[in-house]
Structure 1
Amino acid sequence: MQSVKPNIFNYLTKVQKSDLCHFVASYVKKDFDEESKMLAEKFIEDQKHYLEINSTRFPYLAEFIDEQEFSKELELYIKECKQKYKYQEKQKPMYEKQKAYMKEQRKKIQESRMAKEFPTRAQISYYKKLCQKFTIENPLDVNKASKLDLRDAIDKILKHEEIADREFLHEKLNKIAKTDK
């Protein structure tokens, strides 16, 4: 897609042009469903109002805002912005799939790295404390285990205890509900 940006607003400085284009792009994004001509008219109307009350972001527009060339170029740029946003909307599902795939790949890489590393002293200590607390024999040889093995063992213990706690709470609530009747 060829950009119209180099061909429009050439009577403004680079900074002014950049500032105006960024503002117009965000303006278009807010009211994406409106027609280009309507958006251009609305933008010009708003800017005229801000110029009247001396509260504009673009004081340099005062000399160009009423010119036909400015409104044509503005409308052209708005059309381009709308096309860009439509294209982004079409690409969004593919982008989300790619993002999920990359997240999955990072997780696999992290797990493969953890499988090669030795566990930290804190991790070993935490595992032993959990085993003592829940009176579980150490089924895992801590000296030969990797970070990944220890992490999975700790997760398994915590999930098992969480399920047991939930079942215990559920039984208590059922007893309370039965006694209330």
Structure 2
Amino acid sequence: MVKQTIKIFARVKPTKKPTSGYFVDCDEQSSSLEFVVPRDLADGFINNKRENYNFRFQKVFDQTANQEEIFETIAKPVADNVLAGYNGTIFAYGQTGSGKTFTITGGAEHYNDRGIIPRTLSYLYHHICKDSSMVYTTHISYLEIYNEAGYDLLNPQHEASRLEDLPLTSLYQI
């Protein structure tokens, strides 16, 4: 029996020029991400604003992490559990422009920039094709939630719906 808890990962958005202002501390069990936001001297002498923000994750991927590393650490264990018959979900959360789409779907310029979805589908179908002793039925859903409106990204109309109006099973058999 597969027993796993929810795992939370962070990825610092890859940029063309490396940025500073954050520190990653990794150990065997978890990673922490610390942001330093210096106090603004224009706010006066009495300034109680926090300067350090520290968050803990199972793993933090810095700006040098590539798509293959993201897949191997995050999506491959989920795909292995799916092949064992368990449901799997990968949920990307962050501000607009933070790099969620690149991590999930990848870039179009280079094959190595493929994201979690194309790599996972390739991985799953590769394993399904090798095992002729099993019958597999797959269901995939791909939703975007933005400003409390849900978008079924596998529906060609891409119409916005209230979250309550989305079908309870937005599944597609492939």
Provide the TM-score with structure 2 as the length reference. 0.22
Q: More strand per residue: 1 or 2?
A: 2
Provide the TM-score with structure 1 as the length reference. 0.21
Q: Which one has a bigger Cα radius of gyration? A: 1
Highest RCO, 1 vs 2 (Cα 8 Å, sep ≥ 6)? 1
